[in-house]
Amino acid sequence: MSRLKPLLMSELSPDLQHTMLAGEEIMGFSPNDGLIMARKPEMLNGILGLVQTLYQPSALPTEIKKLAALMTSSSSGCQYCEAHTTYGALKHGVDKQKIELIWEYPTHPLFTEAERVALDVARSAALVPNGVTDELFEQLKTHYTDEQIVELVGIISLFGFLNRWNSTFKTDIEATPKKATENLTLSK
């Protein structure tokens, strides 16, 4: 049970209702973390702006974004974000087998070398202290442009915040991502 109860849509100002409805259109449900964050409207709007910026179509493939978000959340142990990122990856067409085998990325042939490096960075960046080495970052540069790297680290950092937020609040997982992910088991 969430440590802080999510607000009801009826408790939000019209502007925040609009913001939450935009999120609901994208995700297919109203996220409880947003309904908790709505107590600080500026924060909710700031996070939404960052999410929209990072997930707009760009040179960094959506599949890499989704897998990096999942790896960051899974590495951090945030069940809420792991459910959300798994659901989002499935919704955006990421191969279900790739999702289930995400922890086997270093050796599984389903993953490309570019994906392996991105997932290494996501896993290492989720560690405390940060485990990204200079060598690993140099490997990243052989597969991605500077703009793509900034975007990848942006995704990882967004989920670093959301992982801590949702783990601290013990945010309840909504029915839609819970149902979509209940039959999946990520290898670890």
Per-residue pLDDT of 12-60, as tens digits, reads: 999 999 889 888 887 889 999 999 999 999 999 999 999 989 999 999 9
- For the chain, the domains span 9-181
**Which residue in the block uniquely carries the two structure tokens 């925040």?**
16
DSSP 46-65: HHHHHHHHHHSS-SS-HHHH
Average model confidence (pLDDT) across the chain? 95
**What pLDDT, on the 0 to 100 scale, is given for residue 24?**
85
Instruction: Give the Å distances, CA to CA, from 25 to 40, 140, 141.
Output: 21, 33, 35
For residue 123, pLDDT beyond 80: yes
For residues 124 and 100, give the distance between their C-alpha atoms in angstroms, rounded to a whole number. 19
For residue 106, pLDDT beyond 80: yes
**What pLDDT, on the 0 to 100 scale, is given for residue 57?**
93
For residues 41 and 47, give the distance between their C-alpha atoms in angstroms, rounded to a whole number. 10
**What pLDDT, on the 0 to 100 scale, is given for residue 23?**
80
- pLDDT one-digit tens code per residue, 142-158: 999 999 999 999 999 99
For residues 187 and 84, give the distance between their C-alpha atoms in angstroms, rounded to a whole number. 17
Query: What size, in residues, is the chain?
Result: 188
Q: Which fold has domain 9-181?
A: AhpD-like (1.20.1290)
Interval 97-126 mean pLDDT: 97
> Is the Cα torsion angle 76, 67, 178, 81 positive or negative in sign?
positive
For residues 182 and 170, give the distance between their C-alpha atoms in angstroms, rounded to a whole number. 18
- For the CA atoms of 174, 5, 47, 61, the dihedral, rounded to the nearest 10 degrees, stands at -20
Note the Cα 118 to chain centre separation in Å. Answer: 14
- Other residues' Cβ atoms within 10 Å of the Cβ of residue 77: 11
Q: Which is nearest to 48 in space by CA: 59, 61, 35, 58?
A: 35
Copy the structure tokens of residue 158.
Answer: 């967004």
**What pLDDT, on the 0 to 100 scale, is given for residue 114?**
98
> In this prediction, what percent of the chain has a pLDDT beyond 90?
88
